[in-house]
Amino acid sequence: MPEIIRAPPGLYGVGVAETSISRGAADGTLTYRGYPIRDLYDKASFEECAFLILEGHLPTRKELDDFVSRLRSLRTVPEDVYQIVRAMPRDSHPMDVLRTAVSGLGASEQMLSAKEQDYSLIAKMPTLVTNCYRILRGMDLAEPRDDMSEAENLLYVLTGRHPDAFELWAFERELILYLEHDLNVSAFTVRVVASTLADVYAACTAGLAALKGPLHGGANEAAMQMFLEIGSPERAASYLRENLAKGKKIMGFGHRVYKKVDPRAQLSKVMLKRLLEHKQADDKVYRLADELEHAMWETKKIPANLDFYAAPIFYTLGIPIETYTPIFAASRVVGWVSHYNEQLAANKLFRPDSIYVGQRDMVYVPIEKR
Ligand SMILES: CC(C)(COP(=O)(O)OP(=O)(O)OC[C@H]1O[C@@H](n2cnc3c(N)ncnc32)[C@H](O)[C@@H]1OP(=O)(O)O)[C@@H](O)C(=O)NCCC(=O)NCCS
């Protein structure tokens, strides 16, 4: 038994797993399988990036066509999963429902091979995101459209209208940014569960549980609620001052790796501006976010993260706020599945030690004498 090493709180700065999937670095760069995010963001489709992350290389035309048609053929979710969702309280958060639905899906797909499970889960996650939300709102189930891309299908069903080409482009870009991110909390959670040899649904159910928290994926919803609460750019600086003085965390700021700049936030900020211009919409939300970002940098030197700018993009596209974190999940499931498989390829059970600080040498006292 080796001597126990005391890890820093939150495992800050500790490398706990090798990965070749993606790399977010402190200098503000991000690569998927070695490709700079900016190139993928400017040039690739969501499906191309998903294939890259899953399979490790950019697809040929044939590989991409096969991948796309395979995912489209697997989008329909079995009815028994929806029965579980219908039994849940109507005021549940969509993330709680989604997590439960993925767990239910796992129970009904145990007979599939591991590879079939991976693809089934990835293909069905966007369907579950939309239909879990629709069930909670008392709406009919939406049939997945096999003539639409992942992004178009998701956006169409969530907003109930066909997006124009630029809106679809903007939404798809955000999905690309959400696909994968190194050893973030949910990917780490997935790997811990994978290390027990549990199935991919179990691991991703745990990933969803981790993602819901406001320090992780829940931040995009929380950031949007904050923008609405602030209301105007003129109030941004005072809101920040007051809330920092109360010791509150400001949602959409800060990152464990990116201490100066989150490259995904930069890309999204430009996209938000372009989207508002395209829609000839009031740019108040952009000015508000910009004010807040500057005030935070002046005060605390903490940069905005992806969630900070993805949220107003989703809002501008007319997407319901409570689906922002589920949308994150619909994309990130690709990263989770990749981490799951990478973990299994060189598995070692994650079982750290603790540093026991509790009482010792206690003597049991019978209940009548306490
Ligand atoms: C993401 C997050 C958990 C990273 O945490 P971390 O790496 O442990 O943060 P750090 O150690 O760099 O924090 C350094 C200091 O900045 C503060 N800080 C970090 N993010 C902050 C935020 N969003 N608002 C206010 N203060 C923040 C911390 O409280 C800490 O202050 P202290 O030294 O006085 O204790 C953290 O930045 C956060 O809670 N952000 C808000 C939630 C969010 O947007 N999450 C999405 C992440 S992509």
| Centre of ligand 1 from the C-alpha of residue 55, in Å | 33
Round to whole Å and give the CA distance between 315 and 317: 5
Would the CA dihedral through 223, 47, 204, 348 be positive or negative? Answer: negative
Closest residue CA from atom 26 of ligand 1? 249
Q: Which residue ranges of the chain lie beneath pLDDT 50?
A: none
For residue 2, what pLDDT is reported? 76
Annotated catalytic, 255?
Answer: yes
Give, using CA atoms, the residue closest to atom 37 of ligand 1.
Answer: 254
* pTM score of the predicted model: 0.96
Rounded Cα–Cα distance for residues 337 and 326 (Å): 16
Per-residue pLDDT at 3:
87
Q: Residue 221: what pLDDT? A: 97
Rounded Cα–Cα distance for residues 105 and 190 (Å): 17
DSSP line for 149-178? -HHHHHHHHHHSS---HHHHHHHHHHHHHH
What local confidence, expressed as pLDDT, does residue 164 receive? 97
Dist. CA 243–CA 237, nearest whole Å: 10
Q: Is 307 a catalytic residue?
A: yes
How many angstroms separate the alpha carbon of residue 281 from the centre of ligand 1? 32
For the chain, what percent of residues have pLDDT higher than 90?
98
| Test site for ligand 1: of 180, 181, 186, 215, most ligand atoms within 8 A of the Cβ | 215
Our answer on whether the CB atom of 24 is closer than 6 Å to any ligand 1 atom is: no
CA distance readout (Å), 236 to 1, 55, 243, 253, 283: 54, 44, 11, 14, 15
Nearest protein CA to atom 29 of ligand 1, as residue: 249
Write out the DSSP string of 45-82. Answer: -HHHHHHHHHHSSPPPHHHHHHHHHHHHHT-PPPHHHH
For residue 302, CA distances in Å to 41, 243, 251, 253, 299 come to: 24, 15, 11, 6, 8
Q: How many angstroms separate the alpha carbon of residue 182 from the centre of ligand 1?
A: 18
The CA 243 to ligand 1 mean position distance, Å, reads 14
250 lines ligand 1 (CB under 6 A): yes
Predicted local distance difference test score (pLDDT) of residue 337: 98
> Cβ(305) to ligand 1 under 6 A?
yes
Q: What tens digit of pLDDT does each residue of 320-342 get? A: 999 999 999 999 999 999 999 99
How high is the pLDDT of residue 248? 96
In sequence order, what are the beta bridge partners of 25? 29
